[in-house]
Amino acid sequence: MKKAIRDITFDEFIDYCNDRACDGAWSLFTALNFTEAVRRVLNVKPLFGRKKAREKEWERIKREHFKLDAELDL
């Protein structure tokens, strides 16, 4: 199923990253960029509302670093 990056949640993105890392479909550059985005989101550790805070950070990172019209094959 193809989905635009703007519509992907952080949990879906982590699943996508795990699948692509396992099948070797990424170049080193792509793998480093995607894992850096995941690392930055996972570093958000508020005392309460962790999932909501991480989704907010994920939305910010998506807008700044990804082409929102690009599609990923989930």
Give the domain ranges of the chain: 2-73
**CB environment 12-42: b (16+ within 10 A), e (fewer):** ebeebbeebeeeeeeeeeeeeebeebbeebe
Judged against a pLDDT cut of 90, whether residue 31 lies above it is answered with: no
Of the chain, the percentage scoring pLDDT greater than 70 comes to 100
User: Average pLDDT of 25-47?
Assistant: 90
The reported pLDDT for the residue numbered 28 is 86
Question: How sure is the predictor about 57, in pLDDT bands with cuts at 50, 70 and 90?
Answer: very high
